[in-house]
Amino acid sequence: MSNVGTFTVEDGVGVITIDSPPVNALGIAVRRALQEGFNIFGANDEVKSIVLICGGRTFFAGADISEFGKPMQQPDLVGTLSQIESASKPVIAAIHGTALGGGYEVALTCHYRVAVPSAKVGLPEVKLGLLPGAGGTQRLPRITGAATALDIIVGGNPVPAQKALELGMIDALVEEGNLREEAIAFARKIVAEGRPLKRVRDRQDKVDADKGNMALFDDYRRRNAKALRGFKAPENIILAIQAAVELPFEEGIKRERELFRELQASTQSAAQRYYFFAERQAAKVLDLPSDTAT
């Protein structure tokens, strides 16, 4: 049994709860717990649907950036997401706090997404000089269309739950403070109504509508030229979303990985990541009581 994951069955719904303080980052312990939970419930005939929820103050906050530059332990994030997406039973992501970066990429591989009104979702990797490297640039355009995906991913800002619902980024809002119970009820409803396993990767209508429309991407570059000048990540994101529109999903994923690795190895991203950690470290003063006034 994992020390960061608990697995319970409630009237036919398997509930995977991940609790890895402080923010449920998607490090190796969390990925192994997810693998274990989906293996257990996949083999349990009593389980008809699965709810994925997190303890603590937030849903998965994102990838464990401390693992960057180190040999990746298995299962890696891409393999973990593939296991979730290929589950033979409906998987519902139950979101509170924030589902950002890799956290929202996890939610995108679930078949359905519910969230409390105070939650926020998004793909802010651009702020680290990166792009979403686990399918975010390929799945989000299949929900929102390329134009909206460009605004969300290149902009990098969190999307409040109500707006996310309007855009289709989540499927339902549930009562604040009652996430677990309402997510389980939603999972039972999915089964009772015989709803299909809705894999985002299989959706084509939004990207097919943009296919061949290269002016969409050129216009975006032109409108945002001043804000994007000097930064490499936005252009790679544009190219990745263009791949989502023009290529089959698996080919688009390969293109996304190429563009991600290019950024990951760049001095610009290294500098932006250094700034990210340094800014947070600067706010922590040793031996200073946490309640000290500014």
Active-site residue list = 105, 125
pLDDT score of 140: 98
Residue 1 pLDDT > 60: no
Residue 183 pLDDT > 90: yes
3-state per-residue secondary structure call for the chain: CCCCEEEEEECCEEEEEECCCCCCCCCHHHHHHHHHHHHHHHCCCCCCEEEEEECCCCCCCCCCHHHCCCCCCCCCHHHHHHHHHCCCCCEEEEECCEEECHHHHHHHHCCEEEECCCCEEECCHHHHCCCCCCCHHHHHHHHHCHHHHHHHHHHCCCEEHHHHHHHCCCCEECCCCCHHHHHHHHHHHHHHCCCCCCCHHHCCHHHHHHCCCHHHHHHHHHHCHHHHCCCCHHHHHHHHHHHHHHCCHHHHHHHHHHHHHHHHCCHHHHHHHHHHHHHHHHCCCCCCCCCCCC
pLDDT score of 273: 64
pLDDT digits (tens, 9 = 90+) for 220-276: 999 998 888 888 999 999 999 999 999 999 999 999 999 998 888 767 665 666 666
Residue 8 pLDDT > 60: yes
Residue 277 pLDDT > 90: no
Q: What is the mean pLDDT of residues 78-102?
A: 96
pLDDT digits (tens, 9 = 90+) for 108-165: 999 999 999 999 999 999 999 899 999 999 999 999 999 999 999 999 999 999 999 9
